[in-house]
Every structure is written in structure tokens, then in C-alpha cells.
Chains A and B, each alone.
Chain A
Amino acid sequence: MAMERSQEVALIEAAAAGCRDSADRLIRAYQGSLYAYLLRLSGRPDVAEDIVQDAFVRVLANLDRFDPRFRFSTWLFTIAKRLFVNASQKFKPVYDSEIVGGWDGDAQSPSRPAIESEFRGSARDSIGRALLKLSVEQREIILLFHQQEWPIAQIAEYVGMPEGTVKSHLHRGRKRMRRFFEQELERPAEWAMNEGAVERA
């Protein structure tokens, strides 16, 4: 839901003053995009749901610290990303030979947090699997640019990288995804089936 900046600031001020309705409107304005981002980032609906809830609770509990010169979405997504990183570290490694063995070219190691593997195992749609072929940095930049439609400058601020590096990640990420789809084309039936599944979802 697009929201005017002035309207957003007014909602934040009211929510900071303890207005439940304003907090509710803020949640409804951003929960969809945050959930979609985390779902694609993690590949797991349950993880995305938990992080969305936790991120909103933290942000709303500390609204008086919000600096209105910055974007609320950047702050919210930053908190969510930290929670995602923390969550991924809590998962114990799972050595699923079928899952891990099925991935190539991604510098896998058994010590890599198993949430990655778990995410991969649960990602059944092609785009989800293509995303999970990417490094976390590439994945989040692809998502922020193509899914959240953030401008490059905002992404650079969010990930703490120069804009050129962000673009480089973007290009490499897309190239990697293309390569994945080329391989998928060799299995057209599965591709079609998975595409259909995504659309139904």
C-alpha cells in the first residue's frame, strides 16, 4: 500500500504517542511487502511470519527513536534483516545429501547455516529455487530492487555498499538466475508445473 510520506510521519508520531489505530495502519501498510521479502529471502513462510512479527514489535516499541529524516521502510527492513541473520544462526546444520547434493556452484560447505539448506528444501517454485542459488547479498539486492522496487541509492544505504557494488551484485545475481533457468529449460514439464504452482500460490 503506497503511503504519502507526510501521512506516514503522522502515523508514526501518533503510534509513538500510543495510538493503537495508527500502529495498526502502519503494520497493515508494510506487513505485506516485508512478508513477501522475507518469504523470498528465507524461502520459509513460518520464518518469514515470525520475523515480520518480531520486527514490527521491536520497531513499534522504539518508535520514539525513529528519525523522520530516514525512511520508515529502511528502518523496518534493517531490523528484519538482523532478525533474519540471527534466526539463520540459530538453526542447527542439517546435512541432507539430497538437498545439498542438488546444489552446485554455490560454494557450499557443511558448516554453512542449515537454515539455508532448509530454506532450499522447502522452496518448491522455480523462482524461489533460483533465488536460493544466489548468495544472501545477491538475493536481498535482487529482491529489494525487483520485488520491493527500491532505488539503487536506497539499497546501497540499506546494505552499506557503494552503488556500483550494488549494481554488480544485481547483474551477477540476474546472470546466475538466468543460468539456473537455462538448466530448468531442459526440464520444461517441471518448469511449467512449478510456474503454475507459483501462480496458484
Chain B
Amino acid sequence: MTGKNSKPPVTPDQILLALAPQLRELFDGVHQVELEHFSMEIGDLELFIPTTGFGTTNAAHAALSHPFATKPIDLIREPYTPMAYSFPGKIREVTLGATKAEGGSRSHSLVIGGATMPAYFDRTRPPVHSPVISLDVFDMPVNLPKVLRENVADVMDDPAEWAKMNVNKFGADVVTIHLMSTDPLFRNASPATAVKTVEEILQAVDVPLIIGGCGDPKKDAEVFTAVAEMADGERLLINSVTLDMATSKTLGRVATAARDHGHVLLAFTGLDLNNAKELNRRLYEYIPPEQVVMDLTTVALGYGLEYSFTIHERARYAALMGDNELAHPVISAATNAWAAREAWMKMPPVFGSRELRGPVWETINAITLLLAGIDLFLMMHPAAVLTLKELIPRLGNTGTASPDQIADWVGVRL
């Protein structure tokens, strides 16, 4: 197999640079590295991991060879057929956004989910629906790390313009509007104000939308209900419903509104599959399972990404093995990568500029969870987004390796 066929007219990084001109600067390294002394004391901690595994002896393995046997003269050809694995379960398919014909106003809808295999587990079965990417918009000024802020500084006061930029410039498949201003502890903006913001975004862009709340179970219920009514038929993804809402007796109201007006619910739980299942069971009382997506929590690289990685691997395997309560598409807020200080902090020069460290942090956060089965990402940095958009089709396209290209990597002068 050679790599001659299906060469794109331009290379991916040309696309990367063309789509995000500010990256040219970035990659050309014109940014000054800012220095700041940064150090941590080594504590004397006993945590987590054994640095070595178990000792083992060769006696443990059934020896194929015998000390006095004749050494082979020719290569012994060993037959090899890759194992064909199959799973009884399947992840539900969930449609986001609705076109005019479907009762909404989007230019197209998107389907996520549908997996019958763990992600990228079997080369003959790439993802049924390619994972998609949503870019964030906030409805009020928020504290963003410098490296994120500089890409969107011009539009931060105008959510509609911000949404447009996300779609037109950065290639967002979906836009998330975070209605932070509704938080009773911040501006306590009214549901009517939130509805107006969502209307503006619906006007500004024609991709499917995700509606983010403020995290207060009561206020979110009011806001989500009002938005669901206004955007009847748009198949918004409502981010999110929680067990807290069940406790504050607002879950039914939101779920009913989503059902009656044709939207999808994002069920958020904190790294706990029992809670995820419990929340889903409660939602099934109100809404068809095909209108439920899960957020199992994304933690930043360095701050617990391994918990997110493992909970997603466990959830996906359990679902494919037949646990229907977990057989929902999953989202990851890869933007959370920026919670890691290593992503945004000025560090000694040996660790490179944060202009590169930050985006690579978000990118690796996302890719790691892509391998664990994420169907939809919430992201922010253009370089991270472009890398994922280029990588996702490439990961689903086997048979493109050209062994000649790397056959002599050992002897290449770099």
C-alpha cells in the first residue's frame, strides 16, 4: 500500500495556517517568551504509583525455543489474521439541530453516537458518525487565559459576532452559548434576557447550538424552559441537567420542556457511572433516550484527566457490553484543559512559550478523550480545533501508511 492515492491538494498544516493566520505568527515563533521564575518544592509524598511492575522470569512463559535446537535458517512465516471482535451493544444515535424541513432553522443537522465498537479499536470499523466540535461563546466578559483571549478579543462583547467567528473563521460544527450572566451570584440576568441572546445566536449562525446554563439548578431550570419554548423545534442541546435538579425538583420541568419542544438534554455527572445511570433513569421518565447525551466530566491534563479517560473507557465498554443506561453519546469540555496551570502560566524558558503550551494542552486533552470515545467536543483554541478537525478523519482512514517513508528513520539526519 502506498500513500499516493487521496493526497489532499494542500497539506494539513497549510490548512492549519490558512484557517488561522494568527498561528503563522505563532509557529514562526515571533512571540517573545515571557519569563517568570516558577518552581515547586518536592514534597515527600507516597502517592499513586509503583515505579516498577512485577518481576517475572522467562520460566513463566512457555518457551518456544530449545537451547540445543537448530537455529532457523529462513524466516518462519507465521500466519496472522487480526481477531474480529464484536460487541452486543450499540450507542444510541442522537440528532442535534433541525433544518426547516425538520421543524427548525439550521442549515443542517448533525448525528452523533452510533458506535458499535470502542473508538478506533477495529480498523475495519471507523466511527459511524465522526466526532464533531463545538466552540464556546460566553454572554458576558469572562476571565480567559491570555492565549485564548487574544483570538476572540474583538468579539467578546458581542456573542452573535463571536458565534459567527467560531463558525466562519474557526470551522465550528456547533456553537455553545454559555449563559453565564444568568448566574444569581453574578449578574442574575433574567430568562427573558437569556432568550434574547439565544435568538441572536440563532440568527447569526445556522449550525446546531448548545445552550449552557450557569450551574444553579433552579435558575437553570427557568432559563432552559424559557429558551426551549422560544426555540421550539430547533433541537438544541441543553447543557446541562443534573441530579441537583432532581433534588431541587426542577428536573421534570426542564425535561418536559425539552421533550415538548423537541430538544436534547445533556446529562451531567461528576466522574461517577452510578450517578450517570441514575440521572439517565430519571430522564427516561420524561424524554426518549434518543434525546439524551452524557457529560461524564472532563478534567484537565495534570489535574485528573486519567479519571476522565478511564470513566469514558469504562462507560463505553459497559454500554457496548449491553448496559443500555450508558449507551448514549458523550461530550467532553476540552476547554477545561485550561484549568491546568501548565496550560496558561508563564514558566521558565525550558518549558516553552504558553502560546504553544496552552493550545497543545487543550489538543492533547481532547485527543486523549477522543481515543476513549468522545462524540462531541467543546473547545476554544483555534489551533486545537484545527488539529482535531484534521486528525479525526485521518484517524478513521486506515490503509494509508507508506512503510517506505519511515523505513530508514534511523539514518535520517535531523
Tell me whether A and B are bound partners. no
Q: Could you tell me which B residues sit within 8 Å of A by CB distance? A: none
